[in-house]
Amino acid sequence: KEPAVLVAACEHLTGDLDSGGGLAEVLEELPALAEHAVVVAVDTAVAPAVAAGVIPDVAVVVDPQYWNTRHLDNVRPDSTLLVSESSAHPAIFRHFTDPPLFSSSLFPLGRAVESVIGKMGPLGTGGSVSTTAWDLLRFMGCNPIYVAGLDLGFPAGRTHYRGSFFESMAVASGDRLK
């Protein structure tokens, strides 16, 4: 049994550690954690992990939207294994050197691909890539599993860490009245 750290990309603004450490609170410690644990990052957390000096062992990407691929702009984690599903946007695969490992798809496009190449193994979903990453770590037999940056309650209306692609786009689209 190997310990693991699941790195998600929510930034806690309250400082409330009872629900787990926010990404900003953990990035400084991530290099030390990575020495002793498998690091699995969701798509939105790959870039901040790399910026903190940690190349994730595994990246999990399951969102089929193009805009989701933009979280990996300017990041090429060459030694990171990509776990995805076949309906993920094709641009995501350009960011990784090794061929991806696929899980079964919930989307019609993915199911069509699987009807030709064969069924993949299922990973659980729960409306968040983080739940898929959790299920992957459970499937891998990792124990214990530590989670950083996961808060599905969207504290203070925030969905991702400060400086994420989505936040940067929102700021860039603003003007003095918005």
Element (H, E) at 49: helix 43-51
Confidence label for 5 from pLDDT (cuts 50, 70 and 90): very high
> pLDDT tens-digit profile of 110-140?
788 888 887 777 777 767 788 889 999 999 9
What three-state secondary structure class fits 115? helix
Is the pLDDT at 159 greater than 60? The verdict is no
Q: What are phi and psi of 101, to 5 degrees?
A: -100, 130
Helices (H), 66-164: 66-69, 108-117, 129-140
C-alpha of 99 from chain center? 18
pLDDT digits (tens, 9 = 90+) for 58-101: 999 988 888 888 888 888 888 899 998 877 888 888 888 888 88
CB 26 within 8 A of CB 148: yes
> Which residue bears the tokens 């919930």?
106
- Sorting pLDDT into bands at 50, 70 and 90, what band is 166? low
Flag whether pLDDT at 17 surpasses 50: no
Phi-psi category of 66—alpha, beta or left, where left has phi over 0 and alpha has psi -120 to 50? alpha
pLDDT average, residue stretch 31-41: 95
Residue-level pLDDT at 13 = 42
pTM exceeding the 0.75 threshold for the entire prediction: yes
